[in-house]
Amino acid sequence: MADNKKPANVFEDKYWKDSILIYIVGIILAVFTGIVIYRTANPEWKKYQREFVKIAEKKIGKEKVAKIDLGIRQIWNKELMGPNTADRCVTCHLGVDVPGLEGDDVPVVFRTHPNPNGLLDKHPLNKFGCTVCHGGLPNALTVKEAHAEHGVRWLYPTYTREMQKKYKFEEDRLVMLQINCNQCHRFDKDVPGMDYINLAKDLVVEKNCQSCHIIDGYGGNIGPNLTYEGDKSHEMFDIHAPYYVIKDGKPVESGHTIAEEMKRRGLPYSVFSWHILHFEEPRSITPTSTMPNHGFNKDEILALTMLVMSWKKVNIPSRYLSNPGKYQMLRLMEEGRIKPQKIEYVSLASTSPETAAETTAGQAETAEEFQVEETAMKEAAESSGGNADLAAKGKELFGTRGCTACHTVGGGRLVGPDLKGVAERRDKQWIIHMILNPDSMIQNDPVAKQLFQEYNVPMPNQGVTPEEAEAIYEYLKSASK
């Protein structure tokens, strides 16, 4: 229509360009939708599964591989992991329960799960899952999240060889996961496969840590309660406090912080590193600490750190616990239903349900029984005429009351002086007072004060009773001969 005047009813579309824009945006949206669909259809784990099929077929043949289910795979044990999550590690780790995939020619991720000492027979995969031992985020399906690598907000990452390298373990096997073993095997000793934890537990007995620390609900109160040290949040460790070095036996500010010390050694900023530094030299972290430097070597430090990080409150049904009776004892102690007492660790080899019950029953479980035992002990002490008996009792107490933490008798100077011949150097009253009230002696007695200047570590009050002090004195006297 070439008229000048427009007919009245003609519709003129002034914004026709919008239509073109809609088509363009529509195409862009279609591209985005395509990307979304592609990404959903090709998650990271599918890549691993394809890779697995290729490698496994070459190694064990197509027939066997065809029997392996693909897709999202999970191990779900409601008792162990709760109803809300499952272990999906087996989506990528497809070879763990497939025999024939051992060896260096198979990438670690696809390898058959090793079975040292019949481990898998006692901890079947489809019952225990993976994360209870290995750590990590159970129901994640990407490597980064499942392993809870740095950056992922999950407190318990998978223990990997990379992690072990960072902490300077000189091991090719995965040893850090012994930390998790100890959640169920806390009250076992000499467990095959838990060499680091076993070593640490032996050290705890040898160095008598319970003389200053409450461990497993029982012990001294010089240092903090370590029963659930592994549950302490990272917020409770101040790594920006100054780091001290020991010069001439005294702690001196190094000029840099604990964090900087970690950085210098190439250690990660972690609670694990904190414990490493602390076990190496307690006063480097807390200069006023009375905890002695026991001179632990590298392996011992790593083992003790692992042990301490493993001490957590566990939410595991008792069917899964080794020696559940001991866990029960710990709980009863916390509830105040039995008196605090030392829980003996039991050698795993000897643990059949019967022996476990026996050893547990052997320890006083009720308040009345405990009282009876205590009274009996007292009466025995009072009635013991022979000094030899008293000295023998004193020797035992010298160990169990924590003296060996700092003193030897004839073994040289430790944190405190060698006590061989002390009964000849000092009179009985002085020795008894030192045992019963070392804190006040250091304040008021000139000899004690001088010793404190020399050794620079205050002797802690171990809460020894007068009868016990008598016995210890008898032992020291007899050991002086």
- Contacts to other proteins from residues 82-111, by CB under 8 A: 82-85, 88
Contact between 77 and other proteins per CB under 8 A: no
Phi and psi (nearest 5°) for 214?
-80, 120
Nearer to other proteins among residue 150 and residue 173 (C-beta): 150
Contact between 334 and other proteins per CB under 8 A: yes
Plot region of 321 (φ>0 → left; ψ -120 to 50 → alpha; else → beta): beta
Q: Which two tokens stand for residue 281?
A: 């030299």
Taking the C-alpha atoms of residue 177 and residue 98, their distance in angstroms, rounded to an integer, is 22
Closest of 86, 211, 114 to residue 461, by C-alpha? 211
Cβ 237 to other proteins shortest distance, Å: 6
Contact between 239 and other proteins per CB under 8 A: yes
Find the binder of other proteins among 5, 14, 67, 319 (CB under 8 A).
Answer: 14
Nearer to other proteins among residue 74 and residue 478 (C-beta): 74
Instruction: Answer yes or no: are the C-beta atoms of 434 and 350 closer than 8 Å.
Output: no
Site for other proteins in 169-228 (CB under 8 A): 214, 220-225
Contact between 142 and other proteins per CB under 8 A: yes
Taking the C-alpha atoms of residue 380 and residue 371, their distance in angstroms, rounded to an integer, is 14
Interface mask toward other proteins for 308-327; x: CB under 8 A:
-x------------------
Contact between 128 and other proteins per CB under 8 A: no
Find the binder of other proteins among 39, 47, 122, 378 (CB under 8 A).
Answer: 39
Taking the C-alpha atoms of residue 9 and residue 208, their distance in angstroms, rounded to an integer, is 102
Cβ 104 to other proteins shortest distance, Å: 27
**Count of residues in contact with other proteins, rule CB under 8 A:** 78
Tell me the window of 95-103, 106-114, 230-238, 467-475 that interacts with other proteins (CB under 8 A). 230-238
Nearer to other proteins among residue 33 and residue 450 (C-beta): 33
Instruction: Answer yes or no: are the C-beta atoms of 188 and 323 closer than 8 Å.
Output: yes
Tokens 């006040």 belong to residue: 440
Taking the C-alpha atoms of residue 168 and residue 276, their distance in angstroms, rounded to an integer, is 11
Site for other proteins in 394-433 (CB under 8 A): none
Nearer to other proteins among residue 18 and residue 424 (C-beta): 18
Nearer to other proteins among residue 240 and residue 481 (C-beta): 240
Instruction: Answer yes or no: are the C-beta atoms of 127 and 78 closer than 8 Å.
Output: no
Contact between 370 and other proteins per CB under 8 A: no
Contact between 29 and other proteins per CB under 8 A: yes
Taking the C-alpha atoms of residue 162 and residue 378, their distance in angstroms, rounded to an integer, is 55
Contact between 332 and other proteins per CB under 8 A: no
Nearer to other proteins among residue 232 and residue 426 (C-beta): 232
Q: Which amino acid is at 15?
A: Y
Contact between 288 and other proteins per CB under 8 A: yes
Nearer to other proteins among residue 43 and residue 417 (C-beta): 43
Contact between 331 and other proteins per CB under 8 A: no
Give the DSSP H/E element, type plus range, for residue 61.
none
Tell me the window of 52-60, 77-85, 417-425, 429-437 that interacts with other proteins (CB under 8 A). 77-85
Nearer to other proteins among residue 32 and residue 114 (C-beta): 32
Tokens 């073993």 belong to residue: 181
Q: Is 101 exposed, middle or buried (0-12, 13-18, 19+ CB in 10 A)?
A: buried
- Residue 125 Cα to chain centre, angstroms: 23
Contact between 243 and other proteins per CB under 8 A: no
Tell me the window of 36-44, 194-202, 323-331, 428-436 that interacts with other proteins (CB under 8 A). 36-44
Find the binder of other proteins among 292, 340, 417, 421 (CB under 8 A).
Answer: 340
> Three-state SS string across 288-338, please?
CCCCCCCCCCHHHHHHHHHHHHHCCCCCCCHHHCCCHHHHHHHHHHHHCCC
